[in-house]
Each structure stands twice: as C-alpha cells, then as structure tokens.
Amino acid sequence: MVNHVQLIVSGRVQMVRFRVFVLKTAQNLGISGTVQNLPDGTVRVEAWGDRSKLQFLLDSVWKGSTLSRVDNVAEVWDNKEYIESDIEDFRIIH
C-alpha cells in the first residue's frame, strides 16, 4: 500500500538549501513526491511511499539541513492518490 503525507515546514527553511536536503533524503529512500517553497516562508513536502520510509523522511525533515532551523512540521497522513500521474520520482517545484 502506498501512503501519502503532506508536510508544511516552518522556521528558517528557505534560502538555506532545505529543499535540496529534502530532495536528496527522499531520493535515497526511493520516495516519490515534491518539495516547494510557499509564499508565506514555509516549505511544503508532498510524498508517497512506504509508511516506514515516509516516517524516516519526517524525522529527517525535523532535523533539517545544516543551515536551516525547523520550528514546526504540520503533517497530514492519508492514502491520497498521486496528484500528477507522472510523479515517479522526487523533485523540487520552482
């Protein structure tokens, strides 16, 4: 079963290579999805995969990249289908 989690990450998470950190972590785990900066200064992560791998991603997001500071991670878990049928890997949305 493919699980889905949406994360909204707040803190110092833009302009600190946070999206690249999430991208590399997700790719190493074989998770599909996206990461993008939002206008309010937060970062949204949409990820699909095995629940244990998604949990590892969540734990990693809380730690953050070297220059980031994660203050909060709002998470929503569900069995949502892929938003776009062509998301077969993990990518940054610019």
* Residues designated as active site: 19, 37
Q: What 3-state class would DSSP assign to 18?
A: helix
Across 16-83, where does the E strand assignment appear?
32-37, 43-49, 69-78
Written as one letter, the residue type at 72 is N
